[in-house]
Structure 1
Amino acid sequence: MIVLRQSQAHKHQRNGHLKTVKILATCLIFTYLLTILFFRLPEQYTNLSSNMVLIYFSKLVTYYWRKIFLVPIQMEQAVLNRVAQLIRAPAADISRPSATLKRPIKHVFIIVLESIRADAVPLNESLANAVNLNFTFNTTAETVTPLLSSLWTNSVHTIASVASSYTLKSLLSIFCGIYPINVNFLKEANPENILYEKCLPELLREIFLTNNNEPAFSSAFFTAARDDFDHQREIIDKMKFDTVRSASNIYHEIGYISDLGMFGPADPHILPLLWKWIDQNLAEQPTKHLMTSLLITGTHEPFPMPHNQRQDEYYYYIDESHINNYLNALHITDKFIKEIIDGFVSRHLYDDTLFVITSDHGYVFNDHGRETLGLLSTPLESALSVPLILHNPHLEAKQLNGQFTTMDILPTIIDVLLSSIKSAEHPTNQLLSVPSGKLQSILSRYEGTSVLRMPIAQQPARHTFQLSNPGNSYIIVKQYPRKLTYDVANDQVHLYHLGYDPLELVDLIVLDDAIAASHPPWVDILCDKSRIKKWKGLWQNEKVNTDTQHNLLLENKTFLSIEKSNAINNSSVRLKDMLDWADQAFEVARLWKNLVKQRYHYNSDQ
């Protein structure tokens, strides 16, 4: 510690000396320029061969141009490159699959649900507890979502974090494996902004080719919703699906159909178009591989019932009308998904298809006394945690435990498909047949990871970033179990420990260390909290904290890592450690937002 302080003191002293030299050099240069402009000097002072100032003037200007202007620019880029490494998922051990796949996969079907929080599929008591109520006597996961609950049990499943609680931004993480921009609404769709990695449809066409060097995959995006909300059509086009079908195609095929809810016709109206696309593709080329995706909107608020719904088909799951409508809409969606699965079975596609089921984001029902209903400007976990199901009858069912995100979906799909190229080399587990070089190139290119590979041991906990609806209301940084949220509008920082406080009830920033009795027993409060004042006004400041730059460029392996003193099995969490982490995480979040904007070529004047 003494050495560190001495090093910091020497660094500050050295910076002070350099600043003085810069000022003196600048004064000398300007003095000389003013002199030769306004006064006639003797020839010997203007003759380059006899004037030392003129001889070294160009070198002096070049040196300080590099030192004062170019070095900071180069340092900033180096820091951003280091942040890009920090925010990646932990490296995976490709030789160690976390599940078993007994047969090759040919097709992929991605189903994106709407507003389904992690405790809704499968349904568990934490949803009722969140609003201090109880479910009715016969309400279980099996009665509300019989199909999805069965899939959960018989699939690889886990809880994942979304990149945003705004649907269209969330789709970027699911289909492209990239972060959205922390601006309100869908600026990512602007023509001048680029998606900084290839999305799944284009990637499949690039990687998987036929013997004739033609793309082996055809891709399609389906939704019954209209595609004119906030540039939805433009962002889906940027993802480069081969085929896109939405409400306008339903109207063209069937005629006008009245809306159900906010965005268009009921979900089942898209099914004839989906089956038509699948059947036509396979009729034309039976060996074709299909990547089908479906955005379901029936569980979007206000959770309406279908127009032909009978009164006796409305069930009473809980004594709160808004949540009860939500669960009824989910029950109807479950039936709809069963119809899809049955369609794949009848077409003999079920055994060859990997079904990926997740949600765009969660939903908040005034959880735990908070006056928050919906998703607008809320950073709570119930808005940002969703189920993730990977299902195939030949994929071993397994609960995965880890800090996964929806950005992991793209690398996982590529992993499964690469593993399915060869079918005989490892008959007990296709995942052992993966071409490791090709998979590694994907894992090194995208920030997510394959959830079907074990991480290499002894790596720092993963950093994830999330944006609250509509995109720039809250910025959330998590390195489990730590969570920092930044309220952009009010310029406020909040800090939570999700291990001890999963409901986010104890904001560690506002704890008053003068009143020890008010603290939960798991918090060790002895610390100096004066640093909190430094966060105010920093978010909009373009200047990067020099200490953060220094730590990042040193590539310190312990930077932002979880110390053992904060492990969940210890008796307490040191508030000082949490605040130190918050200082660093806040700075990295500022760098992260600049990195993402740079990658999109985003200009704040747009």
Structure 2
Amino acid sequence: MAITKVGRLTGCLFSLALLGAASSQLGFFYRTGSEFKWTDAQRYARDKDGLGVLLNEVDAALAAGLLVVTVSWFAGESVYRAAGELLAMTGMPILNGSNSSGAWQYRQRRPPWLPEAPPSGFSKWSLKNSTQENAQDTRGGDDRSCHDEQYDGKFYNPVGDPLKITNHDSDILSALKPAFAHGSVRIRHVVLIMLESYREELFPLQQGSDIHRRIARSHGSRDGDDEVNERLSHICPIAEKITGKSGRWKRRDGTSFGQVPTPEWNDTTQHGFGGINVVGSLTTASLSFKSMAAILCGVWPLPVDNFEESEAQSYQPCIPQILHLFNQLKENKSTDDFLEQQWLSAFFQSVTDGYDRQHKFDSEIGFDHIVTRKRLEQDAKEHAILEKINYFGYPETTLRPHIREYIEKALAQRRRMFLSHFTSTTHHPWGVPGAFQSAEYVNTQGPMAWHSDFNSYLNAMRFTDRWLGELLQTFDDYGIADETLLVFVGDHGQAFKEDVASKTGTYQNGHISNFRVPITFRHPRIPRVQYNALATSLSILPTILDLLVSTGSLNGRDAAVASDLIQDYEGQSFIRPYRDTHNGRRAWNFGIVNSGASMLSVTSADAPWRLVMPLDQGSRYRLTDLKSDPLELEPLEKWSLSELASEVESRHGVNASRWAVEAEAVARWWATERKRLWGYKAG
């Protein structure tokens, strides 16, 4: 009898656990169209900040649970689903250029500017890493962690990299030459603003674009009526000024709505100037922190789940680490010559940095000054009450006094600033402060209520656009705008039902709307350039270094270091013509799909095709032609590469089919190579 009771109790508990699991999975699928992996669910549940993400959508799980109970009550029997085995695809072997004499000489090289004890971020040049790249690990199982600090193969060698294409030997763009030659461009400070979930086609929104027509159709019109279009013209006027791309807003009769007032920023930039806007840019990952690592360190992120990059050292030095090296190479003294001044790096974010070890990464790469949710809450105990807008934290405007304090400190100490800022309001659930007046950009009435998420997102973008204007005005107020380079970049995009009805968000979603992001280099003295290239945010760091050197904004020694370092990075420079191909090589782009280990996006700068491929056995191959189908409305999807190649040849031709096969092989090598370079060991 006791055994029977124990058995029944165990059975009940097991059934409740299954009910909870099934309800959560169904609720998640209803909201996003994707299925989550339980390893990812554990990551959220174990993190107090991640738990807020789960609880935010608990209503869908409860509804799914009620449905499961109702169906099971009437069904009366358990239903079992058989699991089929998928053929495992073996990755191609690593192409190793170690036998090349040039590669060997490069490994033995020790840069003359490197201090005797390499500073943080520069350990790749330590004797062990540089001379034992090919040492094989033959010890078998041991107690090493995921990231083996002693592994000898983490050295990145640009000479032996079969994918590397550089344009640093090309001339500077002709549009930029005169300004650089005359010395009219000075870059004393650098500001890097990472825009959460920002889509390129909304930075800025333009009348007549595909996304504008989608909004207009919700109001029953292909192009939108005057009232709707005038309202839409107010979403991102600051972005129009930053990028130099007009929203092209006009009435039906062809007359202009007039300039949208922007009291947040009085832009006095001369016509024809403002900087470089990249058209066609992609992110390296649809997971924020992996994308951030690529932006700040100029490296490809790891194709594994979670932010494992925080547990390892980047295989290239990150921006704050490079600036620390510059500081180390010069005297620490107060001087009016900005070329001899020390750098002060800072990071600002109005939400938590405790999720998935972000705080560890920020500290590891060398930020001198960090302000995030924890600091804001500490100060709020003595000052104003903070208003939460989502489960992660507060609106960006709460950073206002902290950013001003940092600027004043740097100016008083005669130091150069590297200010990095990560926005957050445009993250799900797209909450805005109570005092902010939201508008109905997309019709959300009655049967159109399914547009509500996208409408909330557009309101969050308008709030962020105003905040960007306020930041730009702050630099004007302190008299530093003419000597400040601002870099704007989206961490990733954001898919909605308006893009693909069956799947939303970034999780397990390789749709192009999650990967197109804005990249803009803003400076009031740099001529305006619209730079067309199918490139990624990997090129941001080398472009910053190139700009500092080419504008004479570094002293002789720092310029020599930067000129040497830039050759090591895999990204090209956006102030020189972009090379789509070189000596038979394609300029490949890779994009890790959230959560990291399951799917990978592949493009090349010389071709219109895009492949989303599985890194495990749970996803299908997917190919689109971004030239004929920029919204990816007609993808080809197959469970095997051979089936996909055959179908691609029938629809797009033999060149597309060959490209798909090549892309898959290159990507599998690339994924293996990232793990080597990051020193990643599974388990």
Q: TM-score, normalised by structure 1?
A: 0.70
2:314 matches 1:195: yes
The answer (yes or no) to whether the contact 1:104–1:423 under 8 Å persists in 2 is: no
User: 1:277 — aligned with what?
Assistant: 406
Q: State whether structure 2 residue 239 is matched by structure 1 residue 148.
A: yes
The 3-state SS of whatever aligns with 1:336 is: helix
Count of residues in correspondence between the two structures: 463
Letter in 2 for 1:126: D
Partners of 1:506 and 1:442 lie apart in 2 by 43
Equivalent residues in 2 for 1:57-68, closer than 5 Å:
none
Percentage identity across aligned positions? 25
For residue 575 of structure 2, what is the aligned residue in structure 1? Answer: 452
After superposition, the Cα gap between the structure-2 partners of 1:510 and 1:534, relative to the gap in structure 1 and judged at 3 Å, is: closer
CA contact (8 A) 1:224 1:250 kept: yes
Query: d(CA) in 2 for partners of 1:422 and 1:90?
Result: 22
Pair 1:587–1:210, CA change in 2 (3 A) = closer
In the alignment, structure 1 residue 95 sits paired with structure 2 residue 174: no
- Do the aligned residues in 2 keep the contact of 1:87 with 1:464 (CA within 8 Å)? no
The residue type paired with residue 299 of structure 2 is I
1:120 pairs with 202, 210, 232, which one? 202
Residue 254 of structure 1 pairs with residue 380 of structure 2: yes
1:139 aligns with 2:223: no
Q: Report the residue type matching 1:157 in the other structure.
A: N
Contact 1:93 1:456 in 2 (8 A): no
Measured on the aligned residues, the alpha-carbon RMSD in Å equals 3.2
Residue equivalent to 1:55: none
| Alignment correspondent of 2:438 | 314
CA distance in 1, matches of 2:619, 2:580: 37
Tell me which moved more, 361-370 or 446-455: 361-370
User: 1:366: how far off?
Assistant: 2.0
CA distance in 1, matches of 2:237, 2:570: 34
Distance 1:446 1:171 in 2: 16
Deviations 1:93-150 (A, max 9, x none): 4433354243211101111111111111110332244575465634366411111111
2:361 is matched with 235
| Whole-angstrom CA distance in 2 between matches of 1:182 and 1:350 | 38
Which residue is 1:392 aligned to? Answer: 523
- Distance in 2 (alpha carbons) for counterparts of 1:440 and 1:238: 24
In structure 2, what residue type is equivalent to 1:127? Answer: I
Alignment of 1:272-351 (within 5 A): 272-283=401-412, 285-286=413-414, 288-309=415-436, 313-319=437-443, 320-351=451-482
- Verify: 1:501 aligned to 2:629, yes or no: yes
- Structure 1 residue 87, shift from structure 2 partner: 3.4
Q: Indicate how the Cα distance of structure 1 residues 353 and 530 shifts in structure 2: closer, same or farther if over 3 A, else same.
A: closer
Which residue does 2:608 correspond to in 1?
Answer: 481
Query: Is the CA contact 1:201–1:219 (under 8 Å) kept in the aligned structure 2?
Result: yes
2:656 — aligned with what? Answer: 578
- Closer, same or farther in 2 for the Cα pair 1:573/1:353, shift >3 Å? farther
Separation of aligned partners in 2, 1:98 and 1:329: 38
Contact 1:176/1:410 (8 A) holds in 2: yes
AA paired with 2:278? T
Q: Name the SS of the counterpart of 2:591 in structure 1.
A: strand
SS in 2 for 1:148: helix
Q: Is the 8 A contact 2:235 2:459 kept in 1?
A: yes
Task: Find the counterpart in structure 2 of residue 266 from structure 1.
Answer: 395
Query: Retained in 1: the 8 A contact 2:352–2:372?
Result: yes
Deviation string, structure 1 residues 270-322 (Cα, Å, up to 9, x no partner) = 12111111111211x22x1100011110111111121223xxx2222221322
* Residues 395 and 432, structure 2, Cα contact 8 Å, conserved in 1: no
Is 1:179 equivalent to 2:300 in the alignment? yes
- The 1:209/1:414 distance shift into structure 2, 3 A limit, reads farther
1:440 Cα deviation from its structure 2 partner: 4.7
TM-score (norm 2): 0.63
Q: Which residues of structure 2 form unaligned runs of 5+?
A: 1-134, 139-152, 245-273, 334-340, 444-450
Deviations 1:29-60 (A, max 9, x none): xxxxxxxxxxxxxxxxxxxxxxxxxxxxxxxx
| Residues 111 and 295, structure 1, Cα contact 8 Å, conserved in 2 | yes
Describe the shift of the 1:601–1:210 C-alpha distance in structure 2 as closer, same or farther (beyond 3 A).
Answer: closer
> How far has the Cα of 1:253 moved from its partner?
1.5
What per-residue deviation string (whole Å, max 9, x for no partner) do you get for residues 456-509 of structure 1? 686244101111112123211111312111133524222222222222234446
Distance in 1, matches of 2:316 and 2:157, equals 16
Compared with structure 1, are the counterparts of its residues 403 and 323 closer, same or farther at alpha carbon in structure 2 (3 Å cutoff)?
same
Runs of 4+ in 1 over 6 A off after TM superposition: 80-84, 433-437
SS state of the match for residue 394, structure 1?
Answer: strand
* Per-residue Cα deviation, 1:136-184 (whole angstroms, up to 9, x for no partner): 6343664111111111114311232111111111101111111111111
What amino acid maps onto 2:503 in structure 1?
Answer: T
Secondary structure at 1:386 match in 2: coil
- Counterpart selection for 1:85 from 126, 144, 161: 161
Q: For residue 221 of structure 1, give the secondary structure of its aligned residue in structure 2.
A: strand
1: distance between equivalents of 2:627 and 2:367?
40
Give distance in 2, aligned partners of 1:123 and 1:438.
40
The answer to whether the Cα contact below 8 Å between 1:354 and 1:390 also exists between their aligned partners in 2 is yes
Q: Distance in 2 between matches of 1:251 and 1:353?
A: 30
| AA partner of residue 446 (structure 1) | Y
Distance 1:276 1:602 in 2: 39
**Partner of residue 372 from structure 1, selected from 503, 509, 517:** 503
Deviations 1:173-231 (A, max 9, x none): 111111111111111112xx221111001112224667526772110010001111111
Q: Which amino acid aligns with 2:589?
A: T
